[in-house]
Structure 1
Amino acid sequence: MRTASAAVALALLVALAGCGGLGGDAVGPADPSPSIESVSAPESLEHDERATIEATARWEGLASDAGGSAGESGSDATLDSVRVTVRVGDRTLRSENRSVPANGTLTVTAEVDAAALAPGEHELTVSVGEATATRALVVEEARAATFAVSAIEAPDSVGYGENLTVTATVTNAGDLAGNQTVRIRYGAGASANRTVALDGGAAERVSVAFANVRLAGGEHPVVVTTANQTRERTVSLVHPSPYGETTLGLYVDDGAVDRNVSAVVAAATGYWERNDGRYLGYPVAYERVADEERADVVLRFDRVERCGVEDGDARYFGCADLLVDEPRTPMTATVDPRISDADMNATVIHELGHVQGLEHGEEPAGLMNATSTLATHRPVKVHLRAESGDVPTRVEREVAAALDYFAAREDIVGNERFTWEFVEDARDAHVQVTFDERGDVCFADGGGSCTVEGEFYGQQDVRLEALDDEVVAWHVGASFAPVLLEEVPPELTGEADRREREAWPE
């Protein structure tokens, strides 16, 4: 009996102890501790970028056995609030007390603004209660203003003399604001500068209009330049010249000339440069080159025995290649070195007209006629000389009166007005007039006038020999009339009597 009673008492004591009786206060299970399962944050931020940091903390076992028996942790368990802190370096992004959710999962978020942080690496710290997680966060340096050319807008081609508009899109690829000079150029021609101010990441369209574009034909680059980048594209220029360019290289072979004819050549090329639009329909400019292989046109001074169809009675001042469709390389013009500078100028103009595509009879008709006469030249340059001594003033007046007679007429060959001027040297003249008080060139017994060879090849010399002053003008007029007038008036023919000759011109 004692043994059993003792056993019952022991069992009761144990039961009482389990009910909080004997044995003092009950000791339950410890509160769960949180752990930080994940931290979501960028590894780096631009200098002015914003981002959200998100961390997840979990209390293991807090919600895993929901609905269990008494004495076990369940979904209705309660925990004290915890301290939640998010820091980047020494800057606190969030610090607060948070209640622990019943499901045991706590999400923590915070906004980070890189503009509030110094560039470089920072430590990101997330704390939930006693749990802490860290990771590195890098704030990038702000990029300096960098102007890039992101696009160039222009037509594929432009005509010579037309306007060309170019538009470039300039983008600041940096972070900081800045301003730069944007330069836009077309070919080797003009360029234009524009000052552009842009915030970081901003873009602007910059336009330039090039007026009256005058370059050689072919492709030329449109170049857009900033301090950071150069970008280009091509725009073709359509040139109206058969040569495809305005400036032609001219090589002059003047070894056969006994004098310097550079001024003569320059005057002839200058004629075409001034009148290209009027007669050629395209622009031209000549540039002397020292190397024949670089020349577009070769001007050679040499005797011309024949040109094209041979004419046994003709004397040729020059001959040239005729431009048809496309030029050969090079085009060649030849001019006789024995002619006067005045005739040489007209001949070089004529022959260059051929290498530029003009045929005989085309405008300018006088200069492009197949045959050169006094009616060709504007003005006709006259060298008045005396066989001995100076020309008497009375003779000069008579010669001038005869020339003025033709200048006043409107029926000059070629429908052009006649103009004239005296020159001091036969080299500068188209025609000579020689006064000889005695003379025997025209007639053995003297007295009269005739036309003979002048000092230069092809130059005419109107000789006035042993003439009375009263008939000097008539003899000059009678010599010029067959060349200058379509029909010679009776008073200037050999049938005119002495009285008519003395009275002419009235």
Structure 2
Amino acid sequence: MGERELTVAIDNTANESRNFRPLVADALDFWANNSTRFAGFSIGYELDPDAPNPDVVVEFVEEIESCANVSEPAGCAPYVHDSGQVSRPISIEVVGSYSNDSTRLILKHELGHTLGLNHSAGPQSVMAPSSQLSTLPRPNATDRRLPWADADFTVYLAGNDTEDTPAVREQVRRGLDYYAGGADGTVPENVSFSFVDNRSEAEVVVVFGDDLPCRTGDTGSCGRVRGIDPDGDGALERYDDLRITISGIDTPAVGWHVGYWLGYGFGFEEDPEWPAPFRNATYEQRRSDWWTER
């Protein structure tokens, strides 16, 4: 960028209650101490968050609308290899919802671009094109009323032809309709389900097979959810996929098993969280018109 000392300001529109100054200072110190080794010249920084005429402005934003060909970028900065190619101040955008450690890494990475370093440059621990990032702590999926991106679910039935009969499909629909009707107030009222013909398009997959992935034996049902853990705490914060496996269950009980695991897909963990028909149901109750119970 030409000069040997740059004035850096901060513009925080992402989270006014969060103090980003120490994180920016850490990133600036990193490059002040390592620019000669990796960029080939020495650089210094003066951090003045409210500087009237800064050389660099670090902008903390809620989201970055676009950044070259990067999808869902965590940060964005111009790649400066010629000091005459940009006008002052240079703007560095950083999404303000990441954890402190991840924010430091994003800042170092984007500052590296302003020093002329591309994604193949060192140190690769900083300049690699992608990194494992974590957000600030977020509510786990099981703590959310709707642990999905939206309330409109696509459903696919998988199994051999003898299991995908009108009676089986009607039973599956009983389970779906129960939750679409609010499941006795346990889920949002705007939940809806629609069947799709392509498994890859489905968020809920009901599999009829001979093997159960969660237990020994060939009779019963299982549920498994997959999703994302953006804050890296080991618990999913959002579900993207629910797979229900049913094996050896006679048709009149299929709807109950689908309904039970749909509750699991809505984040239910303890028995009282499930609607009444799914709490300690007997063999006969699972084969009854349970969906009429309130």
What range describes the TM-score normalised by the shorter chain of this pair?
Answer: 0.3 to 0.5
Using the size of structure 1 for normalisation, the TM-score is 0.28
Q: Relative contact order: is structure 1 or structure 2 higher (C-alpha 8 Å, sep ≥ 6)?
A: 2
Which one has the bigger strand percentage?
Answer: 1
* Structure-2-length-normalised TM-score: 0.44
Kindly indicate which of the two structures has a greater share of residues assigned to helix: 2
Q: Which has the larger radius of gyration?
A: 1
